[in-house]
Structures are given as C-alpha cells and as structure tokens.
Structure 1
C-alpha cells in the first residue's frame, strides 16, 4: 500500500482557513448543518481538520484503529453523540466527513497536476482514510441513536403506567395501548412498589384504553394480579367492555378468581365497599 507523501501533507495543510470555508459551504449545501449553530460548526470543522493533520504529521498512518488516531476517534464519537441528540440522520452525520473529500481532493489535484500516478495513489490513501473515519462516525452514531431510543422508550413506559391514589388504601393504574411483555413487567414493578410505598390494600387495573385482549394480554394480567395478591393486596380489573368480554369468551380464557368490572367507577365502588366505606350524596 502506498504511503502518504510529505508533499501531500503540505498541500493539505496549506490555506486551512480556505479549506474550512469550502468544507462548511459543502455541508450547508447538503443540509447537514440542520440545528447546528454556525459557531459550533466552524469550531467542529477546525478541530477535526487540526486533528487530522496532526495525526498525519505524526505519521500515524491511515489505520484509524492505531493509537495515533485516538484523539480523532474521540472527537468523532462526541460529534456523533451530539448529532444523535439533535435528531440528525446517520447520512447527515457521515456527510460531515464526506464533504471534506472534495475539498482535499482539489488540493491534491493541484499539487500533483503533473504526476498522475502519484496523484492516484495519494487520492486513494486519503479516500480510504476519510471513508474509515466516516464509518467510525456512523457506527458511533447508530449506537448513540439506539441509546436515545431505548431511553425514550423507557421514559414512555414510565409515563404510560401512572399509579394513581384514588382513596386511602386504594390505587388505580389506568392502561392505554397494547400490553406486551416489557410493559407488563413495568406495570407490575410500578404497581407493586406503589403498594409498598402507600400500604394500599386494593389495586384497580383499568383496561378501558387497551384495544384488544388476547391470550397473551390475559396472561400478563393474571401474572400481575398474582403478584399483587402475594403482596397482601387485592386486585380489581375494570374497563371490561362488551367487545373484550366477547373476545375472552370466544378464546375460552380462564381468568380464575379475577374480579372484573365494566367501569372504573364500579371498581372504585366495590373497593370502597370492601373497605367498609360508604359514599352518599350530600343532602
């Protein structure tokens, strides 16, 4: 494999301010600067160009896994994380590197105008280097985006399973959407912890907002009810609409001793009755 020439480094190091300006112009034309402040963009391009030239000056080679590229890799990882937080796509993040190609290629073409074979070698080396840096950036971006998505999913799960205190000793958990294994686990943990924290005797799970109840959903509900009873509390499932009741009958699902009510109001009325509380209208 051909090595980078000293004259290549000199060509790339010349007129760095002009290189940065052209690079930024390429980024702006491609739309890769969305939500990025101009001052931040200028600082990022200047820093990466400086790191790139510094690594090449130290003869770090073009294998970016080598220790000579540690600072550059760390910079690209920070850049990828920030782009993921800004909601950029992976191709926009990668274009931060690819946009530099055209600018550097033009410099090399001018430097090796009369040496076509050497020009081809040096272009290939720089192209391989920038491609490797871009792939590292994409890989880091994907991991960052996956971490963001996972955190958002966890936050949504927490928000979608609010435990509400309806009365002293009575908790309610209104559910909206599909009840899958992950959400069922979150529901169980949230409700059990709330029972411990409040010392409640009765928990109401309201499934009015659950679109369908199949065998899997029924199993999740029964597991949650069993866990609640093991904690010494009782459980009532409310929001059983006619369609859900028919589905349960057609599927032949055995809900055991599970107590169900048509509405949350009915479930609360039953819960209060079990606690010996009577509610009446003021005269």
Structure 2
C-alpha cells in the first residue's frame, strides 16, 4: 500500500473545487459579519489568505510559526488589525479562519477516508491559525486602548493662557502619578513656549490627593521655579487640606489661594498689571 503525502492531501482538499471553494469561504464570512466589511475588501483579504495557505501547505508547512507560513501570518495580522480597528469582536474576527472548516464539510460527504484524515489535519492547522488571529487581535486592541488612554490623558490636562505671561492648568477628576507627570511636562513646555513667568495649578475639580500626587505637584512647582516661573496652587478643598496636614506634607514657601480668580489676581499683580475695581456701572 502506497502512503499518500500529507501535503498533497491537504492541498488536494483545498483544491477540490478550485476558486469556487474560496468564493464559498468569502460568502460564509460575509454573512457572519453582517455586511459591515465591504464585499471587495473581504474578497481581497480572504482570497489572498487562501492562496497563501495553499502555497504554504504545498511546501509541507503544518506549523503556524514555521517560515513557510510567514505569508499566511502576515495576511492574518493585517486582517486581525483591521477588524480590531473596525470594532469587531474576537469571535467575529476568528470566524474569518474557522469559516473555512464549515465550507469544507460538504466536500467530506463525497470524499474518501484519506480526505477525512486530511480534513482533520487541516482543522488542527486552522485552529492554530484562529488562535494566532485572536492573539494578534487582542494585542492590537490593547495598543488601541493604550493610545486612547494617552490621548484622553492629554485632553484632560489642558494648559490655558489666561494673560500675557500667565498660564494655568485646571485639573478635574482623579489625579494619579501618570497624570501628574503629564501635568509637569505640559506645564514646563508651556512655560517655554509662551515665555510665561506665572503659572497657576488649579485643583478645584480634584476630589482627593495622596502623598505621591502631592510630591509630584511639589516637584512640578520646584521645576517651574528653576525655569524662572512662580507657581500658585488654587482650589484646595477642605478635604484635601486635611489630607495634606494629616500626611505631614510640607507646602512651605508655596503660595496657595482659595480660588482660581484669587490666584489670577495675584499672578497679574506679580506681572505688574494694575487691577482697578469698578463699584458702579457707567451710563
């Protein structure tokens, strides 16, 4: 009895109906994605993947991480990244691989025992490719979430120019070490960009401050002084004041004001601006 070559069996299984099999694969995946990917894009992705898979199997590749599978991995990586950016779920992404198994099932009904064995071997390969797809998808989603978090961090820490030579950083929400580091970097850069000599850090919208955050704020103020700017902290709530006292954090030499308005008045006086109070309305 002559033993058939595994690669021949696998390639033969995928070539039973030639390009019609690839078309069936595209149709199966199109239905599962609900039309949220254009037919042209999906057709290109899966046909290129199909051809790369057949080529890899023809070379005897069965290990997903082998050199012969490099083109298959490249196509799967592109597909997974696209699905992650488009907002698809991991299951919807992996179905692009697993759907090929369903497409091949009718072939088995008229196939031989060798075809069944080839199908089982191919199923194991497709399972590994599906896992690779999910891993790549997850990595891409993590990268997207990290990038979005960094963008939100930037947006939640604005530096506002209040007057010539006066800038302010109004903080709202929870402060942590990462965010206070961003505060320091953006404030110091703004001092350079605007040539300001007065800076206000307003924490009216901050519900709580711990030791680490307070230390970061102090370092920010010291760094600003080294650059020739004076810092004023405004908006310290009674709760934060009690916390600072209880933790024994020294704010000696740092000017604090109850409100942003009071801090701005002080900064303007320091800048040599004469403030005139109007007691009435002119007609």
Q: TM-score range by the shorter chain?
A: 0.7 to 0.9
Look up the match of 1:12. 14
Matches within 5 A, 1:23-38: 23-28=25-30, 30=32, 32-33=33-34, 35-38=36-39
Matches within 5 A, 1:160-175: 160-175=156-171
Look up the match of 1:194. 190
CA RMSD of aligned residues (A): 2.2
Residues in 2 aligned to 1:109 and 1:230: alpha-carbon distance in whole angstroms: 80
Normalization by structure 2: what TM-score?
A: 0.88
Residues in 1 aligned to 2:121 and 2:206: alpha-carbon distance in whole angstroms: 58
Instruction: Give the CA deviation at 1:249.
Output: 3.2
Q: Is the CA contact (8 Å cut-off) linking 2:6 and 2:60 kept in structure 1?
A: no
Normalization by structure 1: what TM-score?
A: 0.88
Instruction: Verify: 1:255 aligned to 2:251, yes or no.
Output: yes
Q: Is the CA contact (8 Å cut-off) linking 1:213 and 1:247 kept in structure 2?
A: yes
Residues in 2 aligned to 1:60 and 1:74: alpha-carbon distance in whole angstroms: 18
Number of residue pairs aligned between Structure 1 and Structure 2: 276
Matches within 5 A, 1:13-92: 13-28=15-30, 30=32, 32-33=33-34, 35-57=36-58, 59-92=59-92
Q: Is the CA contact (8 Å cut-off) linking 2:98 and 2:130 kept in structure 1?
A: yes
Give SS of 2:41's match. helix
Instruction: Give the CA deviation at 1:34.
Output: 6.4
Instruction: Give the CA deviation at 1:272.
Output: 0.9
Query: Cα deviation per residue 1:67-99 (whole Å; 9 max; x = unaligned)?
Result: 222221111111111111112222221121112
Instruction: Give the CA deviation at 1:35.
Output: 3.2
Q: Is the CA contact (8 Å cut-off) linking 1:94 and 1:134 kept in structure 2?
A: yes
Name the stretch that deviates more: 245-254 or 66-75. 245-254
Instruction: Give the CA deviation at 1:181.
Output: 1.5
Query: Cα deviation per residue 1:240-267 (whole Å; 9 max; x = unaligned)?
Result: 1233223333444322222111211111
Give SS of 2:196's match. coil
Instruction: Give the CA deviation at 1:132.
Output: 1.7
- In the alignment, structure 2 segments of 5+ residues that lack a partner are none
Matches within 5 A, 1:128-277: 128-277=124-273
User: Structure 1 pair 121/3, CA: closer, same or farther in 2 (3 Å)?
Assistant: farther
Instruction: Give the CA deviation at 1:269.
Output: 0.5
Give SS of 1:173's match. strand
Give SS of 2:274's match. coil
Residues in 2 aligned to 1:123 and 1:41: alpha-carbon distance in whole angstroms: 24
Instruction: Give the CA deviation at 1:5.
Output: 5.3
Give SS of 2:203's match. strand
